Structure 1
């Protein structure tokens, strides 16, 4: 498994940053390689990605969601990827967003990208795009404030 982490401070209140992150269908606007995300239910999403010419489709489930604090997810196939994003209010108008992805590179291109540290660079760039996206709007495109607690999930990756 590859692990990639990145932190970015965004100049919006924690509620705005959190609410925007819950709008999974907007991810293609700031995440390179994400072609589409379709929200199937409150806790499941269908992803289509294309990275290094390799297209993948998979479903994820949210396993832990605490409004304005954290969202954790994992792929339903048990191997593709998992993630955790946390939100920390630094002051009334600034939020620290920390994301951690774990994923299993499968193709030669994906494995080479991991070795060359391209994954870290991509996540860093995508988090900057999230910052620009949410700051330029000044408000979220929507938000889901429900809680998810999976008894089998620790909330840690």
Structure 2
């Protein structure tokens, strides 16, 4: 499993950074290779990706979400195995640190090769930096402020 950890400081208030991240259907605007994210309910999203010519569809489940603090998720079903957590830290009234941690299990020869070459790591880090540009430019800020509690405490990062 490939572990990626990256942090970026964004020039927006904590609430703005957090609210923008909860707009999952906007992810294709700053995540390379993500064609669509469809929010199924408060806890579940359906993803369509195309990376290196490999198209995948999979679902994710939010296992823990605390407004202005963190969102933790995992993939469910399918052959895409990942889990991750994004944390938000207030630096001052107009700056927020966004820290992303992901564990990704590459499947297939192409993905395993991409992982060995560090491409998955670079893509995820690039997505976080594109998020910075997107949220600082105003994005499509909305937000969902609900709380999701873990059903199984061992399932969080």
User: Aligning the two structures, in what range does the TM-score lie when normalised by the shorter sequence?
Assistant: over 0.9
**Alpha-carbon shift at residue 123 of structure 1 (Å):** 1.5
Aligned equivalents of 2:73 and 2:135: distance in 1? Answer: 21
Counterpart residue number, 2:23? 23
**Alpha-carbon shift at residue 41 of structure 1 (Å):** 0.3
> What is the count of residue pairs matched by the alignment?
156
Alignment of 1:79-118 (within 5 A): 80-118=81-119
Aligned equivalents of 1:37 and 1:153: distance in 2? Answer: 26
Counterpart residue number, 1:52? 52
1:144 is paired with a residue whose SS is: coil
**Alpha-carbon shift at residue 153 of structure 1 (Å):** 2.9
TM-score (norm: length of structure 1): 0.94
Structure 1 unmatched ranges of 5 or more: none
**Alpha-carbon shift at residue 154 of structure 1 (Å):** 3.8
Across the aligned residues of Structure 1 and Structure 2, the Cα RMSD in angstroms comes to 1.4
Aligned equivalents of 1:95 and 1:72: distance in 2? Answer: 18
Q: Is the 8 A contact 2:69 2:89 kept in 1?
A: yes
